[in-house]
Amino acid sequence: MVKLRRILVLLAVTAGLFGAGWWVYANVNLLPTLASTRSVLVDRLFRFLLGTATVVFLLVEGLLVYAVLRFRRKPGDGGEGRPIHGNTPLEIVWTLVPAVIVVVIAVYSFQVLTRSELAADDPLVVEVIGRQFAWEFHYPEAGLSSQELHLPVGQPVRFEITSEDVIHSFWVPNFLAKRDATPGQISTLVMTPNEEGIFPVRCAELCGAGHATMVTQVVVETEAAFQGWIISQTSLPADPIEAGRVLFARYGCSGCHALADAGAKGVVGPALDGLAAPGNAPAFRQGMELGAYVKESILKPSAIVVPGFPDGLMPKDFGQRIPANELAILVGYLEEQQ
């Protein structure tokens, strides 16, 4: 009868432990909204690990509490404890159980890794370029570059990630994916967005003074909306002010500079409002015409460094990236804002 009771208690405790682990797996959610097929796989793995950890935690802490209560020193007991020289079956159990858990986790993790890294047929290729302190996304098929990432929902994507200066880390929390952007190397990351919406893009590597401002967003939209965005980005509005505003955002100026008309609040570089003010002209332009100063600052940012801001923060390749006609529109737009 005593043996049967012990078996029933053991079964009840086991069922309680696994029940608690299953409840945590099914109900505890510590991750952001899932927005890719990759994130679904990683979320299941994370929930499995969390449930397994719950079972192990409750088991170990339960045994500890039981041992403290069951084998505590009784009042008035001053004798020595009974010598115990080991328990071979118990040692085998507490060696095999953790080993089995580790093997199961390793196999499951490997399966998730291989499934999430499978290359899809005919993916959308997006080249991701990190630089201090902005992201640039280039769509080679459309010949388009943008500071904001747009993706069609349900379309497999292959990101080709690199950096032009220091090490950055391309991170989309809702995709549960992150990959380093390393100068001189191209890292690939494959995924399929499966949820429409707007999600943040971050740099997860401390990359300099403007690291906190190296943020943008990914817009996951329908195929029709994505194609409409491609068309809108490959053309410019007829109005030069609207066109300049578009170019100001397209080339990442808003990530580092403040400009009221563009709604930009960057603090990495100098504010671009009031450059023609009498107090600014002698210090910033050194007698140059405003348009010439703005153009030189874009093409040769180290030629005239604004006091209070370090040299080397602004990319030096805008001369190769910005076509001459777009550069003229951007310069004219900035002149109009003074």
Asked if 272 and 328 sit in the same domain, the reply is yes
**Is 304 within the bounds of a domain?**
yes
- pTM for the whole structure: 0.71
Q: What is the pLDDT of residue 235?
A: 74
Asked if 95 and 158 sit in the same domain, the reply is no
pLDDT beyond 70 at 280: no
Asked if 101 and 150 sit in the same domain, the reply is no
**Is 150 within the bounds of a domain?**
yes
pLDDT beyond 60 at 151: yes
Asked if 221 and 261 sit in the same domain, the reply is no
Asked if 107 and 16 sit in the same domain, the reply is yes
Residues 135 and 128: their CA atoms lie apart, in Å, by 7
CATH number of the domain where residue 190 is located: 2.60.40.420
CATH number of the domain where residue 319 is located: 1.10.760.10
**Is 83 within the bounds of a domain?**
no
Asked if 44 and 110 sit in the same domain, the reply is yes
**Is 197 within the bounds of a domain?**
yes
**Is 76 within the bounds of a domain?**
no
Greatest alpha-carbon pair distance for the chain in Å reads 101
pLDDT beyond 90 at 321: no
Please calculate the CA angle 216-221-224 and round it to the nearest 5 degrees. Answer: 130
Asked if 254 and 287 sit in the same domain, the reply is yes
Higher per-residue confidence, 39 vs 250: 39
CB 62 within 8 A of CB 92: no
Would you place residue 2 in the very low, low, confident or very high pLDDT band (cuts 50, 70, 90)?
low
**Is 146 within the bounds of a domain?**
yes
Beta bridge partners of 180: 169
Would you place residue 286 in the very low, low, confident or very high pLDDT band (cuts 50, 70, 90)?
low
List the helix and strand counts (H, then E) for the chain: 8, 12
Instruction: Summarize the confidence of residues 69-74 as an average pLDDT.
Output: 81
Q: What is the pLDDT of residue 213?
A: 85
Of the three residues 233, 267, 302, the one that is the final residue of a domain is 233
**Is 72 within the bounds of a domain?**
no
Asked if 19 and 103 sit in the same domain, the reply is yes
Of the three residues 212, 233, 254, the one that is the final residue of a domain is 233
- Residue 173 DSSP symbol: G
pLDDT in tens, 14-52: 888 888 889 998 888 888 889 999 999 999 999 999 999
Asked if 8 and 112 sit in the same domain, the reply is yes
Would you place residue 306 in the very low, low, confident or very high pLDDT band (cuts 50, 70, 90)?
confident
Asked if 111 and 134 sit in the same domain, the reply is no
Locate 65 and state its tokens: 């509490």
Q: Dihedral, CA atoms, 29, 34, 37, 38, nearest 10 degrees?
A: -70
**Is 314 within the bounds of a domain?**
yes
Locate 291 and state its tokens: 């348009």
Instruction: Summarize the confidence of residues 140-151 as an average pLDDT.
Output: 87
Q: Which domain holds residue 63?
A: 2-67+91-116
Asked if 268 and 213 sit in the same domain, the reply is no
Of the three residues 116, 132, 150, the one that is the final residue of a domain is 116
**Domain total of the chain:** 3
